Structure 1
Amino acid sequence: MVTLIKTIASALVDHPEAIHIREHQENNTLVYTMTVHEDDMGKVIGKEGRIAKSIRSVLYAAATHQQKRVRLDIQDEW
């Protein structure tokens, strides 16, 4: 899943080297936290959140195939 998220995000941003993804478990859900360069936040979120929603849709579809619950949080670089 981390590879899937990174592949999608890398195609969208100007600073692909700044993409970091952490994975941790919360109850029954795998939570992925993606951080991107602050200049790339708009590109990853998109107008009215459409790009972020699309990324999450692909992630949910892949997780459903593996019978897992997932969540994707997007943050600017910390």
Structure 2
Amino acid sequence: MKQLLEYIIPNIVNHPEEVEISETDSNGLLNYTIKVNPEDMGRVIGKSGKVIKAIRQIARIMAIKKGIRINIDVLDEQAQPASQSSDEPVTPESEEVQTPAE
């Protein structure tokens, strides 16, 4: 999973050399923390959070396939979460498919 993030994030930012991705395991929940140059925060988060949501969705699909739980956070320069995950950590049993409202 970390390899996926290490591939995606540096390829969308202007300062790839400043990308830091850390991984911690907390009772079976893999937490990934992404730190980028402050100028790149907008690129990683995207308009209305669309980019980070897409990254989380791809990672979530991989996590379900591997049977693991994950959480991904992006930190700003003060090391505070800049975009909290609105989703609970995903387990294969709790994944819900949402269809667009028409």
Report percent identity of matched pairs. Answer: 38
Separation (CA, whole Å) in 2 of partners of 1:36 and 1:62: 23
C-alpha RMSD of the superposition: 1.1
Aligned 1:1-78 pairs, distance under 5 A: 1-77=1-77
TM-score by length of 2: 0.72
Count of aligned pairs: 78
TM-score (norm 1): 0.93
Which structure shows the bigger proportion of residues in strand conformation?
1
Task: Work out which of the two has the higher radius of gyration on C-alpha atoms and give 1 or 2.
Answer: 2
Deviations 1:31-70 (A, max 9, x none): 0001011100000000000000000001101111110000
More helix, by proportion: 1
| Runs of 4+ residues deviating >2 angstroms | none
